[in-house]
């Protein structure tokens, strides 16, 4: 392994072994896991259209070392708290965290030091934060959250299953069943919808608490898979759910925005885009992502994401990726028998299939077929018709938002629609119970 270019960062990575030995005690931080691909002939997850850029990306040794370090890092404060499961039990840890989020750490009787450190880490205000911009970004994002997100969240979620190195933790938690897959999709939708509500990311807002619960869930996964002999291959996969694997979910929207700006010769964000970037960055920060992985310029965002894509080894196997994809695609998100649920399920299911193939696979129908997603004429037809409706509705709300007399009325309407969505998704548990973990098994394509 080459000498690290970020010695302080690597010192923090190695400190995990002493801080949380239950998770990191057996990790060799000097060994590069097989998933981290830096050889010129390695096949990475960098999109096909950008494969010619990979040598240039890898030539930035400092950026590569940064991503390599965070490939070996989890969430030290949440991990330390999750490691208390044998002492307190799963439900007690969750209850204490909920109380601390709602009422403050002082409201938790005999709060463990690990919980106090976890909450203090989330309460720390980064120097760059502008909450007015965060609120403005949330207001702008409410339009797409209300009108587009319900139709694409499944397709976007499927993208996390295209690579076995990032998908394996989900498979090990028993998420290969349709019921569990539906719950995970709805939990993801709940988190992002919650964070765009007014004041959601303030200290006592629902988005703040949701971020804390997501962090604990990820740490529960790390704790449970690492304490079971033979369940996790460190030499191949490295640390479970490392910081770099949480970047795509939080940064993909602003990554695509940044890529478009650069493609048009731009170098800066517009005021509206800047607000959306601030929202995305702070949401990621609350989820535990370090500031080094949260640039604030179009080029910076593109560079850090491309470095992650260029160093993550491409790997697809049916037992892990295919099974997760099929379970998620087959599930009904809203199993009630109402007419509205039936209509939504019909449209959303086909729209999300087409969205997944077009956006996440670049239209590669052959690769989609390998995963068990085969489009037919009805997929194309419903996607086209629904797109006209969705885009028209988004444009109508954008126009209305520019009219001073009605913009507040329109915003309140969007908030009510998002709240109704959240009610349909149901209560998000954000829990990963190690008692239900099992190795991934092959689920044959239908």
What is the DSSP secondary structure assignment for residue 269, as one 8-state letter? -
Give the pLDDT score at 174. 61
Find, among 244, 246, 236, the residue nearest to 214 by Cα: 246
Q: With the CA atoms of 304, 20, 12 and 234 taken in that order, what torsion angle do they form, in degrees rounded to the nearest 10?
A: -50
Give me the pLDDT at residue 184, please.
Answer: 81
Angle between helices 178-194 and 323-330 (to 10 degrees): 70
For residue 409, how many other CB atoms are within 10 A of its CB?
10
Q: CA angle, corner 93, sides to 89 and 99, nearest 5?
A: 145
State both tokens at 164: 């076995």
| pLDDT per residue as tens, the chain (446 positions) | 566 788 999 999 999 999 999 999 999 999 999 999 999 999 999 988 888 999 999 999 999 999 999 999 999 999 999 999 999 999 999 999 999 999 999 999 999 999 999 999 999 999 999 999 999 999 999 999 999 999 998 888 888 788 899 888 877 776 555 567 777 888 888 999 999 999 999 999 999 999 999 999 999 999 999 988 788 899 999 999 999 999 988 998 999 999 999 999 999 999 999 999 999 999 999 999 999 999 999 999 999 999 999 999 999 888 888 888 888 888 777 767 788 888 888 899 899 989 989 888 888 888 888 777 889 999 999 999 999 999 999 999 999 999 998 999 999 999 999 999 998 887 776 655 545 545 443 333 33
What gap in Å lies between CA 287 and CA 294, rounded to an integer? 12
Q: What Rg do the C-alpha atoms of the chain give, in angstroms?
A: 21
What distance in Å separates the CA atoms of residue 57 and residue 428, rounded to the nearest whole number?
Answer: 39
Q: How far is CA 376 from the centre of its chain?
A: 29
């Amino acid at each position: 392994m080459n000498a690290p270019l970020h010695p302080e960062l690597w010192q923090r990575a190695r400190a995990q072994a002493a801080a949380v030995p239950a998770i990191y005690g057996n990790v060799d931080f000097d060994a590069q896991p097989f998933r981290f691909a830096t050889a010129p002939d390695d096949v990475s997850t960098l999109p096909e259209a950008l494969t010619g850029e990979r040598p240039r990306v890898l030539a930035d040794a400092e950026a590569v070392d940064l991503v390599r370090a965070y490939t070996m890092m989890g969430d030290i404060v949440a991990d330390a708290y999750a490691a208390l499961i044998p002492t307190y039990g799963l439900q007690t840890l969750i209850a204490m965290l909920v109380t601390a989020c709602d009422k403050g750490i002082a409201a938790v009787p005999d709060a463990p030091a690990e919980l106090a450190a976890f909450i203090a880490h989330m309460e720390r205000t980064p120097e760059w934060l502008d909450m007015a911009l965060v609120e403005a970004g949330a207001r702008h994002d409410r339009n797409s959250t209300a009108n587009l997100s319900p139709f694409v969240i499944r397709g976007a979620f499927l993208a996390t299953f295209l690579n076995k190195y990032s998908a394996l933790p989900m498979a090990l938690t028993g998420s290969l069943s349709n019921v569990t897959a539906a719950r995970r999709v709805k939990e993801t939708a709940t988190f992002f919808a919650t964070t765009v509500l007014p004041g959601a990311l303030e200290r006592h807002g629902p988005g703040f608490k949701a971020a804390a619960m997501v962090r604990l869930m990820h740490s529960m996964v790390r704790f449970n898979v690492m304490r079971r002999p033979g369940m996790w291959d460190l030499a191949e996969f490295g640390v479970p759910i490392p910081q770099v694997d949480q970047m795509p979910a939080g940064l993909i929207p602003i990554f695509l925005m940044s890529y478009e700006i650069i493609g048009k010769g731009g170098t800066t964000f517009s005021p509206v885009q800047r607000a959306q970037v601030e929202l995305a960055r702070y949401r990621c920060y609350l989820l535990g992502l370090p500031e080094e992985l949260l640039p604030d310029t179009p080029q910076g965002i593109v560079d850090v994401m491309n470095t992650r894509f260029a160093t993550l080894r491409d790997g697809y196997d049916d037992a892990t990726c295919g099974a997760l994809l099929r379970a998620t695609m087959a599930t009904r998100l809203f199993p009630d028998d109402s007419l509205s649920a039936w209509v939504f399920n019909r449209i959303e299911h086909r729209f999300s299939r087409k969205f997944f193939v077009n956006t996440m696979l670049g239209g590669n129908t052959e690769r989609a077929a390998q995963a068990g997603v085969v489009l037919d004429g009805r997929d194309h037809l419903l996607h086209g018709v629904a797109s006209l409706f969705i885009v028209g509705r988004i444009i109508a709300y954008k126009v209305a938002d520019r009219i001073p007399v009605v913009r507040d009325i329109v915003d309140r309407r969007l908030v009510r629609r998002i709240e109704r969505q959240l009610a349909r998704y149901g209560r998000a548990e954000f829990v990963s119970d190690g008692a239900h973990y099992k190795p991934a098994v092959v689920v044959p394509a239908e």
